[in-house]
Amino acid sequence: SQQGEEDPQALSIQEGENATMNCSYKTSINNLQWYRQNSGRGLVHLILIRSNEREKHSGRLRVTLDTSKKSSSLLITASRAADTASYFCATFVDTGRRALTFGSGTRLQVQP
């Protein structure tokens, strides 16, 4: 199974509401990244959080990391219709393949 698993698989909210997506993983990591993918496009990097960090902010994005629970969450505050996209978490482990492993993504629909 994927190193990173997002939850929920799909989320539909109204504009202005907050959206929370979760990611769980299985092994110890060096960092965890969140990416966004608009339909028919490539992935765009949103934010990276290292294993020794617990929280990071970037604009309307807030990411938390709990290494004891092997989980991360992405919060988008005051959502907009333009936030409609799929969101992926990706974990990096500094052993073995030493490359990112992506989860299956959360499809977010923000209704105007």
Partner 1 sequence: DARVTQTPRHKVTEMGQEVTMRCQPILGHNTVFWYRQTMMQGLELLAYFRNRAPLDDSGMPKDRFSAEMPDATLATLKIQPSEPRDSAVYFCASGLVLAGGRNNEQFFGPGTRLTVL
Among the listed ranges 12-20, 25-33, 52-60, 70-78, the one in contact with partner 1 (CB under 8 A) is 25-33
C-alpha separations of 53 from 50, 57, 72, 83 in Å? 5, 11, 11, 25
Question: Which position among 16, 18, 27, 41 is part of the footprint of partner 1 (CB under 8 A)?
Answer: 41
Any idea which residue has 């990244």 for tokens? Answer: 33
Question: Which position among 72, 74, 84, 103 is part of the footprint of partner 1 (CB under 8 A)?
Answer: 103
The residue among 2 and 64 lying less far from partner 1, judged by its C-beta, is: 2
The residue among 33 and 73 lying less far from partner 1, judged by its C-beta, is: 33
Any idea which residue has 């977010």 for tokens? Answer: 108
Q: How many residues does the chain have?
A: 112
Question: Which position among 17, 55, 66, 94 is part of the footprint of partner 1 (CB under 8 A)?
Answer: 94
Residue whose C-alpha is closest to residue 25's, from 36, 34, 13, 12: 34
* Ramachandran sector of residue 98 (left: φ over 0; alpha: ψ -120 to 50; beta: rest): left
Q: Does 44 bind partner 1 (CB under 8 A)?
A: yes
Q: Does 33 bind partner 1 (CB under 8 A)?
A: yes
Contacts with partner 1, residue ranges (CB under 8 A): 2, 30-31, 33, 35, 41-45, 48, 88, 92, 94, 97-105
